Amino acid sequence: MPSVLLIHGPTASGKSALALRVARAVDGEIVNADALQLYADLRALSARPTDAEMAGVPHHLFGVADGADGWSVGRWARAAAPLLDEIRSRGRVPVVVGGTGLYFKALTEGLADIPPTPAAVRTGVGKTFDELGEARFRELLASFDPVAEVRIAPGDRMRLSRAMEVLEATGKPLTAWQAETSPALPADAWRAVVIEPEREALYARCDARFDAMLEGGALDEVRALIARGLDPELPVMKAVGVRELSAHLRGETSLTEAAETARRETRRYAKRQLTWLRNQTPDWPRISETDADAAWGQFLAQGPALTGLS
């Protein structure tokens, strides 16, 4: 059996239910790999598992962070790596589950320890991009870091800018930083599966999920966040639903309108996650079912090569 199991997928795809079935079957413990489920402030809006759902199986890194304390990918990886070792030292299997792609990338490919980029550099690179346009900006980047330029998809301004920011801030190309990294998990220590439902079925689940969030106290969560006066750039303030429900609480829109906008944004977020998964994890086995029993059956059908189970 692999020492670590990874379950990745978009929002509302049934990851948590499958992870629970898997953990019970393999004597496992569940480790959160969802950037928003880290925060204590977002139980409803992140669809974090309830105490009842977590009963009987140890869960880690759920609701451990305060909303005022923004976690980076690096901080999550530094928390997760020793935790995985600790779980394995007890003879149990870590089941890592979530929808944050960069967390899985940090485990399986490594995370470059790049120093923070100064705000002045980010501003300067943004101005350069605006002045040159993408085509000429790419030419400039390629003259210093051709590997990064080729790897970055057309229209991906964020990653193009990031590569240039790293170059300007550190004097070393992003590709060189990445070449010096190693994965947190050796290639033979983990197996992974992606839940990739049919898109329309996933969108329907997204809509139902947001309605359940409202019933579960999402509006009160947003009200509490507003009362704290937190920096709008913090991850908790950028969670889908926070901006929309905040507008309602300020009297700018009705709850019906805010909820519909949030449902639409949730579907868009799920679409972006599906695109990321198809581009970044094309070789990982797929599960198409969202129903817990059906997904478990598909998981078992992957065979001992994935699960060690028969």
Q: Where are the domains of the chain?
A: 4-111+182-303, 119-179
pLDDT tier at 2, thresholds 50, 70, 90: low
DSSP 8-state symbol, 261: H
For residue 230, give both structure tokens. Answer: 């937190």
What would the pLDDT profile of 25-76 be if each residue is shown by its tens digit? 999 999 999 999 999 999 999 999 998 989 899 999 999 999 999 888 889 9
What would the pLDDT profile of 97-120 be if each residue is shown by its tens digit? 999 999 999 999 887 778 888 989
Amino acid in the structure at residue 210: F
Same fold flag, 4-111+182-303 and 119-179: no
Tell me the whole-structure pTM to 2 decimals: 0.82
For residue 249, give both structure tokens. Answer: 């609480």
Number of H helices and number of E strands within the chain? 15, 6
pLDDT tier at 188, thresholds 50, 70, 90: confident
- Of the listed ranges 187-191, 296-300, 304-308, the least confidently predicted one is 304-308
Mean pLDDT value of segment 194-218 = 95
What would the pLDDT profile of 75-101 be if each residue is shown by its tens digit? 999 999 999 999 999 999 999 999 999
Q: pLDDT at residue 309 above 50? A: no
| CATH annotation of 119-179 | 1.10.20.140
| CATH annotation of 4-111+182-303 | 3.40.50.300
